[in-house]
Amino acid sequence: MSSETITADAAGTWKLGDHTVGRIGFGAMRLTGSAAFHLGTASDRERSIAVLRRAIELGVNHIDTAAFYFSSLRSANEIINSALAPYPDDLLIVTKVGPFRNYSGDWGTSARPDDLRGHVEENLRQLGRDHLDVVNLRRMRQDSIAEHFGALAELREEGLIRHLGLSDVEPRHLEEAQSIAPVVCVQNRFGLDSRTPATDELLRICGEQGIAFVPFFAIAGEGASQGATGAHDDAVLAVARAHDASPAQIRLAWTLHQGPHVLAIPGTGNPDHLAENVAAGAIELTDEELDTLNALHRQAD
């Protein structure tokens, strides 16, 4: 399929917080480098800026980022600021807090509740904003998220954050958070070959409650943060041939077919891959193809 003229409108829209966004968004993690959290080759800054601006031209109005997306040379938030400020009125920027990385890039223990104000303020500074549209609390294996989510709810009351979301959680964590403040989105790892019973249950619950479900690594397969996998099941390859599409596009299309509340945020530093990702929103899978791909998903760990 040709991706040259397909825009994000093809995938439809969803209400996330107080923004109506296209169901194909953009993940900023890979803007700064080529490997997991940018420990590999640094990106070309001007190319990353061009990719972001092209995403906006293609109708993308949902960008996922974090202050801890940085390398020794690049910061995703700084690139977003340089490329897109002053920001379009319809652009939703979603960031996340919870993991802790020092300025040398080393990972530390997870943030304490009283660290989160500083993390929010760092995102505000880097993005050049006076408020954050949505902040996701990334759970770092803690059993209860009440203290951390409560700290973010206080910042929401102060006006530094408009809406709150969750990442890497189980259904019980969503219920716990909702007893403190509204939740507009849930971000978990989920894809054609990536599943857990808890995440499948969250997908269902979010659909019933009108909460956006935002999978990460939806097309990465075994590659995870390293990037899209090169290994594909024969069934995926067959569906890709039938649509004159790439296997990554089929993985994205399958993800979007899981419900109207499912929003994809594929990331890339490659303008050609960007256009392909956006074009995946126009792929209509047949019932037979969905049955085949759903069976693959059920077999995944």
Residue 50 has pLDDT above 70, yes or no: yes
Residue 119 has pLDDT above 90, yes or no: yes
39 — pLDDT class (breaks 50, 70, 90): low
Residues 6+ apart with CB under 8 A from 135: 94, 95, 96, 97, 120, 123, 152, 155, 161, 163, 164, 165
Mean pLDDT of the chain: 90
On the 0-12 / 13-18 / 19+ scale of CB atoms within 10 A, 290 is middle
* Residue 135 belongs to a domain: yes
β partners of residue 135: 95, 164
pLDDT at residue 223 in the model? 46
If one counts the domains in the chain, the total is: 1
* Catalytic residue, candidates 26, 69, 149, 217: 69
Question: What is the pTM (predicted TM-score) of this model?
Answer: 0.92
* Residue 3 belongs to a domain: no
* Residue 2 belongs to a domain: no
CATH of the domain at 41: 3.20.20.100
pLDDT at residue 118 in the model? 96
pLDDT at residue 30 in the model? 87
pLDDT at residue 224 in the model? 46
Task: Collapse the DSSP code of 135 into the 3-class scheme (helix H, G, I; strand E, B; otherwise coil) and give the result.
Answer: strand
Active site (annotated) includes residue 69:
yes
On the 0-12 / 13-18 / 19+ scale of CB atoms within 10 A, 286 is exposed
For residue range 140-182, what is the model confidence (pLDDT) as tens digits?
989 999 999 999 999 999 999 999 999 999 999 999 999 999 9
Task: Work out the average pLDDT over 256-267.
Answer: 97
* Residue 39 belongs to a domain: yes
φ, ψ of residue 100 to 5 degrees: the values are -120, 130
Supply the DSSP symbol for 110.
Answer: P
pLDDT at residue 194 in the model? 85
Per the structure, the complete domain to which residue 172 belongs is given by 8-299
* Residue 163 belongs to a domain: yes
On the 0-12 / 13-18 / 19+ scale of CB atoms within 10 A, 77 is buried
Residue 269 has pLDDT above 80, yes or no: yes
* Residue 1 belongs to a domain: no
Please name which of 31, 33, 35 lies closest in space to residue 226, comparing C-alpha atoms. 35
pLDDT at residue 227 in the model? 47
pLDDT at residue 225 in the model? 45
For residue 80, the Cα-to-chain-centroid distance in whole angstroms is 15
* Residue 162 belongs to a domain: yes
pLDDT at residue 171 in the model? 98
For residue range 72-110, what is the model confidence (pLDDT) as tens digits?
788 999 999 999 999 999 999 999 999 988 777 777 778
Report in angstroms the alpha-carbon separations of 161 from 105, 121, 154, 232: 26, 10, 9, 40
pLDDT at residue 301 in the model? 65
* Residue 19 belongs to a domain: yes
> Which residues in 99-145 belong to E strands, given as ranges?
132-138
